[in-house]
Structure 1
Amino acid sequence: MSSSNWVRDREDMSPDRHNRYRLDNVGLQLGLGLPLQLLGVSVMADIPSFDGNRRSRHVVNSRNRTPQDINPLMVQQTIDGIPIRKLYITNISIEVRRFEMYHIFGQFGQIMNVFLGVSKNDNSKQFAFITFANPQDAAQVLARKVFCDSKGRRMYALAADSWHQPQEMSNGEIIWKTDRKNQARAEESEEEDDQTAETPEVLEGPVETPDESLNGLNDDCLLHIFSFLTYKEIAGVERVCKRWQALSYRMWRCLHKLNFTCPPFRRMEMTTPCLEQYLRRCGDCLTLLDLSINKHSFNEGTIIVVAKYCPNLEVLRITNIHLANRSLAHLGRRCPRLKEFVMDDCPKINDTDLMSMLPKCLELNYLELSHVNGITGKCLVNVQGPVTNLKLNNCPSIVTDYLVPGLEKMSKTLNSLTLSASGNLSSGAMEKIVTAVPNLTTLSMSRCSPQLENNSLSAISQLTKLTDLNLFLNNAVSDSFLTAIVEGCEHLTTLNLGGSGGGCTTLLSEDGLSVVSRIRELRDLDISYLEVANNVVLKSLALRGHRLRRLLCRGCPDLTDEGSSQVVSMCNDLELFDLSGCNNIGMETVEAARTSVKIRTNSVPLKLIVGGTNVESAPPDSEVPLLTVDLADLSEEHLRPDFIDDMFFPPTDSDSDEDLDHLCERIGCDCDFDFDDLNDPTLFPCDFDDDSPKFGVLSDSEDTSNWFDKVDDDDEEDDEYFGDTWKN
């Protein structure tokens, strides 16, 4: 049949049209020059059993036919209904290259991708995955089945499994890109299936009934099921089969945040090799890694492992990890996208280590260093990123002369600064800090600062943009400072004065604390553990602080129902009122809160915490839905202004044994110890080797001159008895 007849016969839809074309091919291959039908040759029943090698070579190398001349076949599908675009080609010579595969199969249609790899079972053979743009083109190749390369070696075409096929979205978009690593791992199953027959059969008939087992589900369904598994179970899924292993890797690559402080990891004792196994699977895609856990066995190579597998990391939090020399420099070089870095209680860290990392983190905007004794602040000069939040918690070696130059370098971007428990700050430190970073909106100077004088904090009033100020347990808070804050910081919304103004001399008075009510935009106020917090202060807040939303008054012994009732009645926006540990608060405050909440027009709920007070029961929620009464005591007894530490320092006129019995009864332990035993040489013989007692003589008798002589007389017997007791 000529090419023109071939084109004219494209509209021929008779059932035997394919056999007729095969017969014409056979006639042409035999060199007869005419189709067998014209020569009267009978139609053979098994035409495909004819010499497939010569037939395939003729079709591939023939110049008479083009891909446009071939009739389109029906679209074939996998067993789960996915159109076949990707084919698996096996038994390929090791000498064949990708361009030759394009030449052999490119005439059937547009090829999107050709993946060529060496067979795992036989190094002399290759396999290939060929992806066509149209499933009709792939169907033409499947109809041919057998092909030959330039040297006459047979190649067999099969339909790739459904999990290798390109993904077709609901909107018609096709995702062509595949994971080559997973594709290479999954080719083993294709090769094993191919070893049973030299020319496997291709499914051309109707689609069979899908498998009802779990493995019969498509990838999307399995991925949805896997999403309900824990991290440990996902790791176990890899052992089921090659397909599940590939899906497990896809699950890991979808993980962008790995937090080891969440419940699935709390029962595990993490080690560096265990962490490495997790990061091998998901490290490339991680943007957040939280290692701030207390129960772990991380070694000095942990940071090296993190830097090796997490190049796209943006947030890193570490706690109590020993760092090797230059490990932070390696981290900064391998993780240049780091935006948040939190380091807590990491020993042997100094400014030199951080100076090698900070210049490489050009996107760093959050830096927190806690319980690091070797940091003086010199490393902050090397910060190159736009740091907006700097926290230095419990860094006792911070020096003002090193800290201020670093703050000056961050002055354009820094808006939040925390200097908690920094004992080395001098009296003039605040003036220099305020000058270096005048645009601060959040400042925390909590815990005691022994070197700060009475007027050391007055410079804070120059921060006109300040909205959040934390002075918890800061002894330098005084009346003059609060007056300056009210006049200078007009935009202040959050103020924490809990336990401040204490020490040997109280710098804070009732009148000074009442000045706080003049801050117009104040929303959140904490005056817990203040001796001067009384009804006068609460009445002042009730009259002027109508915008208050949170008010904490924990452990204030001078507060009564008189002041608290006015607060809940006049502050209609109040959402939280904490009176934990206020002994003189009773049901009158609760009743005032119920009455006030009932008449509220803004529907703002109120939570009243009255644990540790005279309130013994809470009203039912059904009566006042907007009111919640919590009986939890959130106060800390040792922070109360009336706290007397007689537990460990008993008065001189008290009986030590009675105090010890009281302590044992309180903590729930049985103790037979007697303070008189301290002078018993039978229990502590090493303390009586010299002539003078180390603990003093607590004997009731006045004559103690021969006491040691009596002990020495039976010393051997006592030693033997003590040794027997020790062995038992």
Structure 2
Amino acid sequence: MFFNENVAGIFYPDLLQVVHREISTNNVYGDHFTISTPNIPTHTEDGIPIRKLYVTNLPPKTTRTELFGVFAQYGYIRSCWLRMGEKGPNKTPSATYGFVTFSNPSDAYRALQAPGHEKMLYGRVLRISPADSWHQPVEDSTGRVIWSNYTNKRAEALTDDGIRTYKTSWWQHDSVVMTTAVLRRLLQRLGSLTRLHVDHHWSALNDRTAHTIGKFCPMLEELKVTDSNLVHLVKNDSCIEYLTVANNSNLTGLFLTGVTPPQLNTLAFYNCFSLQGTVLSAAADTLTNLKVLKLDACPLSLWKIIPNILKKLPKLEELSLSGYTSIEGIFVPPTCDSLCEALSSANKLKTVNFSKNIYITNAVIKQLAKSCPKLESLNVAACNTRKSFAQSGYITGINDEAVAAVCRACANLRHLDVSYLAALTEAGVAAAAQCQLLITLRVRGNRTLTAQPFITCLQACHFLEELDVCGCDNISEALVEEALNEIQVHPRHLLLRIGGTLATQIYQTHKICREVEVASGDRLRLNVDDLCSTPLRPDFVDDIFDDGSDYSLDFDDLHGSDDGLYDDDEEYDLEEYEHALPEDFMPQLEIDILHGYFSL
């Protein structure tokens, strides 16, 4: 049931506008009695102006004429729609909910802001709220309102390639839990998606979720999940190209065995502690087209199997093995000989992420530089060997020798992150000047470095767009001055992050930074926010449990001294208490005293 401006009949728009004007002019309540709600939105979270309102708590016999009359006082109504209940020979249709669409968003805002006594029908206060994004009329690039074919910008999330993406974390209806039934209705309304991220708290989803997604998203190309039941969407005939599983403690990887998805080229696991290396190795036999493999923060038992997996993936272009910082009770660290052997045949690698991996050594990075001349991005941040490894004669973490080998052999290197490396010196940073195509250089948390090696990189790398030295305490303002000179000689846009350095003593306010940016013609941008992670710094010492710390725990201080508690010189005569104790208590009391308890 609809009502809109093109329908002629019992309504008189001119009369309604006159009534609305008279009510607004002769407001008997006065301005002092206007109730305002500061949290009433004017736009949806997608940025769409709110014109359409969702109306509930309707009396059963409500008609669209009455619904229109309630909201006509707030402005010109474009359309009014009422949902009627079940119909039948012995049933009277009753109103359940409705939609009221205003031509002007400001009129819809007034309706939301109006007090409840103005929105009553048959003694009931109507409950109104902004309609969801996919119900709202949208505006095109010229500002023209499209009243039909309402779309949800957030649900579509159209990119340049026309890919439709939806994330369940966008579902923010507090009163409606994202169950499988709700997800089914949502997917049915959105149409066929190509990217789906089930990244909300999924405890309300049941075992029919995988069937629901497979039915309504037959063309799904990217799937990101946490529920182990949803991985069964990966089948021989599926169109999935990207699969990501995160924060799952039950997944072993068995769902990959026996299936050969023809288009699957990206496989990523993060924080999956039950993942089994032997199962992944068996699945790799059928995933020969895989181009991206990410095994981040997974169990250490997987480390021995990773080389076998890499040997079965000849087309691999991106590899991520980050987050291995625990020794998990092992006494002898695993050797990297097998990993070096596997990398010797991975000549198509372009992106490698080894950040926060204590098992990566110079030998691995040297082999990477030797075997991967096409390497474009390398992240070895915080690859520092544990002190317990060093004491047992194990090779230390990555140093200048490995960094220089990569910069010398990989001419296409564009992104380099060597932050938090304890063995990195100025010679290793200066080696980055050999990468003339370098776009991003990140060196955080190294207090031994000065501005000189970075100045060398600025002079040699004319395509450098971002230089991050956050937490390098001894970087002076000379770096900023050289950046201004280089921009004049080789014009380009450059982002310089200097938070936590000596340079921030001069460029400590955003006003001063803005003056520098204006002087450079807005080509140089200064960021003084300290993005350095203190626990990752090589010089970080956690002194909470340090023996020499003032904060060390002394259990004598907590519980007090035992001196004088049991004085041998003092005798306790228990005979005087015998008459007050049960007959069977004395033997138990003697036993308690022998065990050190005194429970009178």
TM-score between the two structures when normalised by the length of structure 2: 0.64
How far, CA to CA, are the matches of 1:678 and 1:235 in structure 2?
64
Aligned to 2:481: 591
The match for 1:312 is 192
Q: Distance in 1 between matches of 2:361 and 2:320?
A: 17
Larger radius of gyration: 1
The one-letter amino acid of 2:375's match is L
Correspondence for 1:243: 79
1:374 aligned partner, one-letter code: N
Where do residues 382-401 of structure 1 align in structure 2 (5 Å cutoff)?
Answer: 382=259, 384=261, 386-401=263-278
Equivalence map 1:102-251=2 (5 Å): 185-186=2-3, 193=10, 233-236=50-53, 243=79, 245=81
CA contact (8 A) 2:50 2:136 kept: no
Name the one with the larger helix percent: 1
Q: Specify which of 631, 634, 638 is matched with residue 535 of structure 2.
A: 638
Query: How many residues in Structure 1 have an aligned counterpart in Structure 2?
Result: 434
RMSD: 3.9
Gaps in structure 1 of 5+ consecutive residues: 1-183, 197-208, 216-224, 262-284, 661-673, 680-696, 710-728
Q: In structure 1, what is the Cα distance between the partners aligned to 2:302 and 2:43?
A: 58
Counterpart code for 2:150: C
The 1-side partners of 2:262 and 2:298 are apart by 24
Q: Distance in 2 between matches of 1:229 and 1:429?
A: 45
Q: Which residue, 162, 167, 177 being the options, matches 1:298?
A: 177
Matched-pair contact (CA < 8 Å) for 1:471–1:500: yes
Secondary structure class of the residue paired with 1:392: strand
Q: Give the Cα–Cα distance (whole angstroms) in 2 for the partners of residues 408 and 698 of structure 1.
A: 66
1:379 is paired with a residue whose SS is helix
Check conservation: 2:499, 2:531, Cα contact below 8 A: yes
Partner of 1:705: 566
8 Å contact from structure 1 (residues 460, 485) kept in 2: yes
SS in 2 for 1:564: helix
Alignment correspondent of 1:328? 210
Aligned twin of 1:577: 467
1:468 maps to 2:351:
yes
Q: Return the match for 1:652 from 522, 541, 547.
A: 547
| Aligned residue type for 1:642 | D
2:177 corresponds to which letter in structure 1? F
1:561 corresponds to 2:422: no
8 Å CA contact 1:389–1:417 kept in 2: the answer is yes
SS at match of 2:420: coil
Counterpart in the other structure of 1:415:
291
Bigger mean CA deviation after superposition, 360-369 or 625-634: 360-369
**Partners of 1:552 and 1:343 in 2: how far apart?**
31
Tell me: CA distance 1:398–1:227, structure 2 relative to 1, closer, same or farther (3 Å).
closer
Closer, same or farther in 2 for the Cα pair 1:320/1:517, shift >3 Å?
same
CA–CA separation in structure 2 for the residues paired with 1:362 and 1:590: 53
What amino acid maps onto 1:498 in structure 2? A
The answer as to whether partners of 1:363 and 1:386 remain within 8 angstroms in 2 is yes
Q: Distance in 2 between matches of 1:477 and 1:545?
A: 22
* Structure 2 unaligned residues grouped into runs of 5+: 21-41, 56-66, 69-76, 82-98, 102-134, 138-146, 328-332, 391-395, 508-512, 571-600
Considering Cα pairs closer than 8 Å and 6+ residues apart, tell me whether 1 or 2 has the greater RCO.
Answer: 2
What is the CA distance between 1:582 and its match in structure 2? 0.6
Shift of 1:636: 0.1
Q: 2: CA distance between counterparts of 1:252 and 1:675?
A: 73
Q: How does 1:376-387 map to 2 (within 5 A)?
A: 376-381=252-257, 382=259, 384=261, 386-387=263-264
The structural deviation recorded for 1:303 is 3.5
CA displacement, residues 567-586 of structure 1 (integer Å, 9 cap, x when unaligned): 22222221111110011111
Q: Match of 2:282, as an amino acid? A: P
CA contact 1:258–1:286 (8 Å) conserved in 2: no
Deviations 1:399-457 (A, max 9, x none): 12211333332322x21121111124444423322232211111111111757533343
- Say which of 151, 163, 178 aligns to 1:255: 151
Separation in structure 2 between the aligned mates of residue 361 and residue 395 of structure 1, nearest angstrom: 26
* 2:235 corresponds to 1:359: yes
1:483 maps to 366
User: Superposed, which structure 2 residues align to 1:676-687 within 5 Å?
Assistant: 678-679=558-559
* Alpha carbons 1:336, 1:360 under 8 Å: kept: no
2:498 to 610, 621, 643: 610
1:502 to 2:385 alignment: yes
Q: 1:228–1:486: structure 2 CA closer, same or farther, 3 Å change rule? A: closer
SS in 2 for 1:481: helix
Distance of aligned partners of 1:705 and 1:235 in 2 relative to their CA distance in 1, 3 Å threshold = farther
Counterpart residue number, 2:219: 337
Question: For the Cα contact (< 8 Å) 1:425–1:452, is it kept in 2?
Answer: no
TM-score where L is the length of structure 1: 0.53
Matched letter for residue 441 of structure 2? L
Q: Is the contact between residue 568 and residue 596 of structure 1 (CA under 8 Å) also seen in structure 2?
A: yes
- What percentage of aligned pairs have identical amino acids? 22
Amino acid at match of 1:369: V
In the aligned structure 1, how far is the partner of 2:279 from the partner of 2:179? Answer: 28
| 1:40-55 alignment runs, 5 A limit | none
SS at match of 1:628: strand
C-alpha separation in 2, matches of 1:530 and 1:596: 28
Q: Is this contact kept in 2: 1:399–1:424, CA < 8 A?
A: no
1:522 corresponds to: 413
